Chain A
Amino acid sequence: MNWFGAVRTASGGMLRHTVQAVVLGMVLLVSTASATLGLTLLAANDGPFQRAFNAQDGAHLSVTVDPARAGWARLAATRNAPGVTAMAGPFGEATVQSQFGGQPFGQLALVGRPSPGGPVDDVVPDGGRWVSGPGQIVLNGTPGGGGPVVGSKLVITGLPHPVTLTVVGFASSITNTADGWIAPAEVADLQGPGTAPSAQLLYRFAGAGTAAQVRADLAEVTGALPPGTVTGAGSWLAAESQNTSNGAIMEPFVVAFALIGLAMAVLIVANVVSGAVAAGYYRIGVLKSIGLTPAQVVVAYLSRVGGPALAGCALGVVAGNLLAVPVLHQSADAYGVGSQQVPWWASVLAPTGMLVLTVLAAFGPALRAGRLSATQAIAAGRAPNAGRGYAAYRLAARLRLPRPVGMGLAAPFARPARTLVSVAAIAFGATAVIFAFGLSASLGRAAGIQTLSATVPVQIQQDGPGGGPNQVPTAAQDAAVTAALRAQPGTAHQTVVYFNGVKAPGVAGNVNAWAFGGDSSWIGYGVITGHWYDAPGQVDVNTAFLNASGLSVGDTAIIDTGTAQVTVHIVGEVFHPSSDPAVYGSTQTLPGLAAPANVLQCDVGLRPGTDTAGYVQAVNNALGGNSPWGATTQKDGGTFYTVAVSLVGLLALMVAIAAGLGVLNTVLMTTRDRVHDLGIFKALGMRPGQMLTMVVCWMAGPAVMAAAIAAPVAVALNTATVHAMAGTAHTGVPASITQVFPPSRLALLSLAALAIAVAGALAPASWAARARPAVALRTE
């Protein structure tokens, strides 16, 4: 037999150990898939906006112009303006009021574009198709969430005759250059009577990295057109700031899960591979006795695990790529970047890393096998190290527990190293599960606090059918809102909210001020420190305000509302994730804000048992078709929270599956080690159910230990992650957001460790329970 022939014969055994080969392959599959996904997410999280902006030729500048002043040809000629590297447009633009399902759907900026592509602002389709003619619309964003879907009808109001548009698709613009796209020919029909025509020009410039550069670029474009042509402009830097902030919020938990997944994959793969190699000692011993050299032994060992490992890694990278598709779709939504792809290096690095890890894990036992004499190898392969765990068995025998349970609980002490690996695997899995539940709860609470959806289920906003751009409601229209709300029996609270910019010494730029006309204590803003204002002269501020001003809760500040300078006492820090400083107080405390032009909305609280949808319908009916006001339902959380929670769930599931596979492998190895003992148990009358119980109980002790580790780690991880996320969102965190683990819930969630252990142990336990005693006794 030649050198490699002997190796081939020696390593052929793995194929006969089907179960172990399958487990090894599965572990590497899940680990590689997790690693691919983890690396992909880390990459997706690394400057997602900038990469997507470049890939989609995002517009550095979006300019709104009056085409009547310059003419279409002159507008198009601005592509030759200094610094312009690419231009798209001019596209006709119309700003309209819309309704969906009979309810106000808000103001939409619609742009007529013949196709989604082009030299600038390559719009990424996300379901459906592009418009092919009048009567159709492609909405910016993604379908679902109770909003329109493909086939839905939007009614454009405020026109002499309402126009119905059918939603034919969804798409995303990296800088949100429009709320929707329509056929170019339809733009004129949607521009209301008396409204000046409008068009959009999209530019990319040679230099647009700073606000000053963008301002200079805008000046070049403006200068190339007749005076008064440019009516508005939007910089890409604003979109970048918003999206980068979103992305940064995701980073802490994505990194946390990626690290948990990778660490566990390393641990489990090392354990599975070394276990698989050690399982072959007997065979190698026999082959050495008939002449296999140490070098051949090492190669045989490595090739023994090589096949299943290669198959697992190959399938894993495919699975990772497939899993990444929906995950990246969600993360692209959260980042608002249209689309994201699996980087090629993740598909190379993940399987390569796992293979290297496999070889490293196998190399030690292989080397040891190579050095062992034939008789030592045979002995090592036939019997596990004896002498450990006897005291545990003795103690278990004294406990008043069913004997299979006692025997099962004592078993882990016989193989402490293997048990520690199990504890670690289960702890990783349980940590991920508990952390996922905690983070979901924290994000849910943050969403609830931020959107106030629980306390303010209905808002009256200026997007009613009678509204229009820059239109201030009349006093009569405002009074009609108050009357309509009072007439509804379901109204529990109503508070008018005014919004405007104010100045505060020490804070650069404007401070966003919310002034409440009436009792606002019921609205339920999340207070981080201090309390919600309850007297004139008191205000609450957000974290960004405190950071910018250097003030603290308890300090006083001077606020210039434009009509008066008032000294206010800061009594609380509220949860408001934003880098913009904000102040909250009554209209009494912030004089001048309670002007009609500053009315933002009316927050409405409902009596218990009131049907929100019915209430909204009734209010809108009462307001009629000509009111600029419309009642809308507040939803739980925004896209970011929805995406984050589903991402957290998926990542936790993957980690838990990998942990379960780790347990399965450990139990499988232990079952093989103890197959003869299992035969004896059966010969002595152990029933299949008792056998199942005993084998499952092998993992009960490690599961309890893992739960004891995982619970505090997950709580700490959740708190740290939420604070890290909040830090990137420029806000502190109310205690209620992190205090999501009451002892009863934590105890319940800790059962995840037991669930992972039982799920992983069940299959080999069933095999052990089903095995014929005579077969088990013969197998040594």
Chain B
Amino acid sequence: MIDSSAPGDVIRLDGVTKTYQGGGPPALADVSMGVAAGEVVAVMGPSGSGKSTLLNLIAGLDRPSAGTVTVTGRRIDALGESALARFRARHIGIIFQFFNLLEDLTVEDNVLLPAQLAGASRRQARTRADELLARMGIAEHRNAYPARMSGGQRQRVAIARALVNRPAVLLADEPTGALDTATGQEIGRLLRELNEGGQTLVLVTHDPELAERYAARTVRIVDGRLAGIPAGVCR
């Protein structure tokens, strides 16, 4: 077992195994790793290697079959569904490859939604959304619907939505996978800026260039196991 975790990590996985119903080899097998506060970690690996499963477990979207997942000091694998949802709303922001915006909501309403679900006041949520829309450069599209926007604009909306509750951890699953190269680089730069502001970021990607350019550390997964940690960046 390769263990890349350390005390004080904002994300800690200890001996995590995930097996799906129906048998077959585990999607993740005995994975232990950690991510420090303010760190950008890229998770790389071939298709089906377990990258998205790892991200889902950190986000609390799924539960490990064995092992523990601790985020900002809380064992999220032990939380009930309601507590987990509340934790996710307040502490975790997620960016998906295909944006996963709600098509029937305007840009502004998409961004406001997590804040509203978390119980933020209307005024606070709106102020924060205004700030993020401006920062992402899409303020003029606040009343537009996602279907009418470009891929890059949609991903900016998704990032704004992920950040609206000031999460301790930002998880990005192939954030540039559905974008052209130029737009992908634009989004990459945006993520780096966020990290420079102290945002902890876990980046799942196929793209070695994206990992190399923007991540401080890369974790490789092959067949559900951590395959090794490049010299100089492992802990």
Contact = CB atoms under 8 A, between A and B. Distances in A.
B61 A770 contact: no
Interface in B151-209: 161, 165
Given A394-B106, A394-B109, A683 B61 contact: yes
Contact of B59 (A393, A683, A770, A775): A683
Given A685-B86, A770-B81, A389 B59 contact: no
Interface in A653-686: 676-677, 679-686
Nearest to A769: B81
Contact of A686 (B117, B145, B161): B117
Contacts of B116: 403
B112 A397 contact: yes
B100 interface: yes
Contacts of B161: 684
A685 B102 contact: no
Given A390-B104, A688-B85, A682 B114 contact: no
Nearest to A685: B89
A686 B113 CA distance: 9
Interface string B125-153: 00000000000000000000101000000
B105 A687 contact: no
Contacts of A772: 61-63
A41 to B, nearest CB: 46
Contact of A682 (B61, B101, B103, B122): B61
B82 to A, nearest CB: 5
A324 interface: no
A389 B102 CA distance: 13
B109 A397 contact: yes
Nearest to A691: B85
B118 interface: yes
A612 interface: no
Interface of A: 386, 389-390, 393-394, 397, 400, 403-404, 410, 414, 676-677, 679-690, 769-770, 772-775, 777
A188 to B, nearest CB: 81
A688 B86 contact: no
Contact of B56 (A681, A770, A774): A774
A773 B100 CA distance: 13
B208 to A, nearest CB: 26
Contacts of A397: 105-106, 109, 112
Contact of A680 (B59, B86, B100, B106): B100
B76 to A, nearest CB: 13
A687 B85 contact: yes
B59 to A, nearest CB: 7
Contact of B104 (A393, A689, A769, A770): A393
Given A773-B61, A774-B61, A685 B104 contact: no
Contacts of B165: 685
Given A393-B104, A403-B113, A403-B116, A683 B81 contact: no
Given A680-B102, A685-B85, A688-B82, 12 more contacts: A390-B104, A390-B145, A393-B109, A397-B106, A676-B100, A679-B100, A685-B86, A685-B88, A685-B117, A686-B85, A688-B81, A769-B81
Contacts of B106: 394, 397
Contacts of A682: 61, 85
B114 A684 contact: yes
B90 interface: yes
Interface in B33-90: 56, 59, 61-63, 81-82, 85-86, 88-90
B215 interface: no
Contacts of A773: 56, 61-62
Contacts of B56: 773-774
B226 interface: no
Contacts of B90: 685
A684 B99 CA distance: 12
11 contacts: A677-B102, A681-B113, A683-B59, A683-B94, A683-B96, A684-B113, A688-B82, A690-B117, A769-B81, A773-B56, A775-B62
A684 B104 contact: no
A400 B121 CA distance: 11
Contacts of A390: 104, 145
B95 to A, nearest CB: 10
B189 to A, nearest CB: 25
Nearest to A682: B85
Top 7 nearest A-B pairs by Cβ distance? Answer: A685-B89, A774-B62, A403-B116, A687-B85, A774-B61, A773-B61, A684-B114
A773 B114 CA distance: 15
Contact of B147 (A386, A389, A689): A386
A684 B89 contact: yes
Contacts of A410: 104
Contacts of B59: 683
Contacts of B122: 400
A683 B161 CA distance: 11
